[in-house]
Structure 1
Amino acid sequence: MALCMSCGESSTTTVSAQVLLLRFFEKTIESFKHNVANLFCGILSCEPVLDPDLRRTRGQGMDVVVGDEFSNNKQFDGGGDPLVFNVLDSLLKGSLDRLKSMRDDISLVKKGITGSALNANCAGNEAIIKDLCLGGKLGPALWLRSKMIQKGFVPDVLTHNYMVNGLCNMRKLEKADWLIREMLDKGPSPNCATYNTFIKGYCLLDNVDKALHLFASMANSGTKPNRVTFNTLLHALCKKDLLTEGKKLLGKILDDDKKAASNVITSTILMDGSIKSGDIVEALGIWDSMLEESTPMDVISYNVLIHGFCLARDMKLAYSYSCQMLKRGLLPDVFTYNTLVSSLCKSGRLDEACYIHDVMLRMGVAPDEVSYKLIIQGLCVCRDVDKANGYLNCMLEKSLIPEPLVWNLIIDGYGRCGDIGNAFSIRDRMLSFGVVPNVFTYNALIHAQVKIGNILYACFLKKEMLLKGLFPDVVTYNLLIGAVSNAGHIHYALQLYDEMLRGGCNPDMITYTELIRGYCVKYNFKEAEELLAKLLKSGLLIDHVPFQILIKQYCKMKEPERAFQLYWKWLTVNKRLSSREIWSPARTVQNY
């Protein structure tokens, strides 16, 4: 009764409790928005919105009311803060969107519960549940299902499969398990598609044990697995590098193992598992079996095999099977070309990679962001930054806005080449396209400044990071500590080190190495050896560099005994290294 009165409903009106609750939430949100509006109006020196009924205006009318309240106020035009108004406007619009979604859900549910619609059109209610599931609105769908069951109408198994699929897509597997138990208890009995959907949900979460347990429970419920069950579990086991066990365990699913292997999806999964385990010969054996059994190949099968040849660095066979695709009437897709481009870039064959990019365009296959990222990364590694910048321009001309990683690659490439002007030009262009620089962007710019000796500007960039809400990482501090240490400013290096610790950034081996170098530049060998001892006790992995720095300094000072003491200390730390792998200080001693 109280809930009906709060929502403006008469006590004689027959309304479900759920609908009343939704209406109560709606009125609560409207009241909250009205109070917030009055609060911000006070901040802006505007007249408050006195009439709460105006807040009931639906859709665009509400925006007009709010807009009129502010636009008619002269004080707001003169001295209000537009940022505060934008916050208010965003808050109101967000609330409106939520209310509109809530009303849509209510209207859909009302179609199934008002009047005699539930009794007259059970199929229509099932269609509503399917629409709700496809829209990700599992709550109203499950509620409508419960109402139908209360009225004596049980949705069919297809409708339940839609709900199970929606719950699995939303990673709500416990709820999906509850629903399947409900199906076993109240009906309809789950079919193979129900279990396949649930098994796929567990496989997507990489929970193969649960998937296998569910597979075992299928037999207890009288449901026979099919080829989809086989392929789903086989793919999950291959991802876990359990190909052999998967074959043994799942060989009994189908009546004929040979028939199972003839399926293109199953064979493709088996080939992919063999390739990932490094057995390209077995993959070729599966491919030959598919040819003997006249299994129709598809583009995905060719892509898997071409990927295997690229991993084996056999580009001749990769090209050969790409041509074979065309002879069979199958056009290579963007994944085919990206596989080839990736392998060529890793091998340093950038000219061929660029040629494959041109072939893509001539074949009518539009390169995607991955295609451009692979080529740009390869070109930047080979120091051909101008050409990489050209491919960036191609992306922008095709309205492909790259992720920060692509911009960072080019900025870092220009920085390593000492072209500080182009590095900052790319950063400015990055901002103009609405891409926000991240920590790696600033690290690349700081490295560029350090490389040309602009230590002061590098420190300014660190301050700019903090102003933009970005926290320097260990790479940032290592770059700055190394720069100031080499310049002989050990006190400022120690200040950066202390700042690093206060900010919760843990130093690594490079941090200590640069500080040791800074002490040696100032001939503070005692502090350098104390820091080396601290590094050895820290448990961090250590290489020969900090020892080499100190040994060279002792050799310069004509103190070979201290140099050899450090050398033997280095040998005790790295007993696993052979004498050939260990840097020998004998040459250093001879050079001085």
Structure 2
Amino acid sequence: METVDDNCELRSSDCFSEKHNFEGEENPRAVFNVLDALLKGSLDRLKAMRESISLAKLGLQKCILDAVQPDYTFMVRDLCLKGKLGAALLLRRKLIREGFVVDLLTHNYLLNGLCINCDMEIAESLFREMLEMGPSPNCATYNIIIKGFCLCRNMDKALDLFYTMANGGIRPSRITYNILLHALCKRGLLDDAWKLLEDILDDDIKTTDDAITSTILMDGCFKSGDMMQAIALWDEMVEKKTKVDAVAYNVLIHGLCLNRDKKIALGYIVDMLKRGFLPDIFTYNTLISDLCKEGQFGEAYYIHDVMSRMGVSPDQISYKMIIQGLCISGDVIKANEFLHSMLEKSMVPEPHIWNLIIDCYGRYGDLSNAISIRDQMLATGVLPNLFTFNALIHAQIKGGNIFNAYSLKKDMVLLGLFPDVVTYNLLISGAYKCGQIHFALQLYDEMLRKGYEPDKITYTELIRGHCMCGEMKEAEDLFLKLHESGLPMDIVPFKVIFDKYRRIGEPDMAFKFYQRWMTMMA
């Protein structure tokens, strides 16, 4: 470029020199020489510029290709994390169609998203495509799809993939074994888990020294009721100086609580503290759950206070377990106090917690407090669900307000909620108790028209209603219908009819009905 410019500059100066006279005839060729030189210089410069631009364009394209292509991995990952798997798969297909090479990492993100959603047909199809066309799956790919099949309870496929990994020249990792061990233990297939452990030993992988593997097996032993084997695994970890963590302690404490060995569990909490591990939310919730199940609410409150002082804030589960235990035991006032404690800490209770308290007030016939809790629930922005309405219907029926209860059913529909069999059972039972026999039968007909299948409670309430009206033949016909329906039967409907015959002074009819029942049960 510099040579061309210099050359042009020289010729231009020549053009304006005194030797060149444009109007004279003595040097006509000089003019053309100068013009030719200028034109040639311009063309050379244009050619050089064009070549420079082409090279820059090629370089820019390469930079864009290098910069943009990796971004697609992040786009696919982002789509997968947001659950937009259809869009992620379409993006992959478009990239392949336009000549981009979609890397293994991108495929692994896609597979992981599909497996989390249990879209195993699409995941398996994508996996087969990878085997046939690339990129070739690695150990992480196999781990993802094996875990997917485990999550979807298809252990046969998961184990089949595990045993075919070697055919693809891929050695299973410790993570692969742990995924399968966890799935087998979770399903109570402890014998298969131990067999898999033998395969690990045969493959000379030192997984038995791994805290995760031992913790998984210990959890499986506890859940299958083999406490001795679980403790033996823990002792083996301690003996081998395996590096345990808070998770291993939590599994041990939870397992001991499951087997009603709280004293030993508390001993291991002390040991946990001695080793420098602080109990976390899971540890405290395990203890609270066990204490509430045993009705030891004083101790549960104490643990609840201790965890707050230790800097571990109680979560929704902590409160739910205490409130649920209190509602089961009938202490709805204390349960309400814990509900207000949550609200004071700016915790918005989930619908289940509200429903527990509404139901408890309803069971004790305290309609005003049940409605008050529902109003507080709405004020905090929590929408009532089907269980909320069923609890309120139950409360209204307890108060003898069958038509108010029926109005609540209408309110459900306006909110886009639909009654279930429980709703109809509550209303039918309430109608009979209020002497509204015709209304109860209307509800039963409405239930059948809307496609709901009566359950044993429906039949029991209808039998009870007919007995209250002295319609013993209709009651026995329904009893027979219940038997023929194939629904599991208990002794309650039999006792309703048998006791009614006794009360009206018909011992012979009671005995005949007893004989028919024995024949049915034979």
User: Equivalences for 1:377-392 in 2 at 5 Å?
Assistant: 377-392=324-339
User: TM-score when scaled to structure 1?
Assistant: 0.71
CA distance in 2, matches of 1:258, 1:181: 28
Please state how far the C-alpha of 1:264 moved relative to its aligned partner. Answer: 0.7
CA RMSD of aligned residues (A): 2.7
Please give the per-residue CA displacement for 1:244-302, whole angstroms capped at 9, x wherever unaligned: 22332353345676832110111111111111211111111110110011111111101
Please state how far the C-alpha of 1:407 moved relative to its aligned partner. Answer: 0.7
Unaligned runs of 5+ in 2: 1-56, 81-87
In terms of Rg, which structure is larger? 2
Match of 1:412 in 2: 359
Match of 2:427 in 1: 480
Q: Give the counterpart letter for 1:313 in structure 2.
A: R
Which one of 59, 71, 74 corresponds to residue 128 of structure 1? 71
Which one of 167, 184, 205 corresponds to residue 237 of structure 1? 184
User: Equivalences for 1:89-108 in 2 at 5 Å?
Assistant: none
User: Equivalences for 1:109-128 in 2 at 5 Å?
Assistant: 116=59, 119-120=62-63, 124-125=67-68, 127-128=70-71
User: Equivalences for 1:300-339 in 2 at 5 Å?
Assistant: 300-339=247-286
Please state how far the C-alpha of 1:190 moved relative to its aligned partner. Answer: 3.4
Query: Contact 2:400/2:434 (CA < 8 Å) preserved in 1?
Result: no
Other structure's SS at 2:199 match: coil
Match of 2:461 in 1: 514
CA distance in 2, matches of 1:513, 1:446: 19
Which one of 353, 356, 360 corresponds to residue 303 of structure 2? 356
CA distance in 2, matches of 1:499, 1:308: 48
User: Equivalences for 1:443-592 in 2 at 5 Å?
Assistant: 443-575=390-522
User: TM-score when scaled to structure 2?
Assistant: 0.80
Please state how far the C-alpha of 1:429 moved relative to its aligned partner. Answer: 0.9
C-alpha distance 365-526 of structure 1, shift in aligned 2 (>3 A): same
Match of 2:92 in 1: 142
Q: Give the counterpart letter for 2:77 in structure 1.
A: L
Please give the per-residue CA displacement for 1:385-444, whole angstroms capped at 9, x wherever unaligned: 111111111222223222221111000111122221111000111111222212221221
CA distance in 2, matches of 1:233, 1:538: 41
Q: Larger relative contact order (C-alpha < 8 A, sep ≥ 6)?
A: 2
Query: Contact 1:360/1:366 (CA < 8 Å) preserved in 2?
Result: yes
CA distance in 2, matches of 1:184, 1:226: 19
Please state how far the C-alpha of 1:554 moved relative to its aligned partner. Answer: 2.8
Unaligned runs of 5+ in 1: 1-113, 576-592
Query: Contact 1:136/1:166 (CA < 8 Å) preserved in 2?
Result: no
Deviates more, 1:243-252 or 1:435-444: 243-252
CA distance in 2, matches of 1:167, 1:556: 63
C-alpha distance 128-444 of structure 1, shift in aligned 2 (>3 A): same
Q: Give the counterpart letter for 1:293 in structure 2.
A: K
CA distance in 2, matches of 1:444, 1:249: 48
% identity of equivalent residues: 56
CA distance in 1, matches of 2:468, 2:190: 57
Match of 1:585 in 2: none
Please give the per-residue CA displacement for 1:541-585, whole angstroms capped at 9, x wherever unaligned: 33333333333333333322112111222223345xxxxxxxxxx
Match of 2:243 in 1: 296
Other structure's SS at 2:206 match: helix
C-alpha distance 463-142 of structure 1, shift in aligned 2 (>3 A): closer
Q: Give the counterpart letter for 1:279 in structure 2.
A: D
Other structure's SS at 1:261 match: coil
Query: Contact 2:92/2:102 (CA < 8 Å) preserved in 1?
Result: no
C-alpha distance 157-530 of structure 1, shift in aligned 2 (>3 A): closer
Query: Contact 2:402/2:434 (CA < 8 Å) preserved in 1?
Result: no
User: Equivalences for 1:417-436 in 2 at 5 Å?
Assistant: 417-436=364-383
Query: Contact 1:227/1:254 (CA < 8 Å) preserved in 2?
Result: no
C-alpha distance 117-159 of structure 1, shift in aligned 2 (>3 A): farther
Please state how far the C-alpha of 1:377 moved relative to its aligned partner. Answer: 0.3
CA distance in 1, matches of 2:449, 2:102: 61
Q: Give the counterpart letter for 2:255 in structure 1.
A: G
How many residues matched?
459
Deviates more, 1:189-198 or 1:370-379: 189-198
Other structure's SS at 1:365 match: coil
CA distance in 1, matches of 2:142, 2:384: 46
Match of 1:584 in 2: none
Query: Contact 2:397/2:405 (CA < 8 Å) preserved in 1?
Result: yes
CA distance in 2, matches of 1:458, 1:156: 60
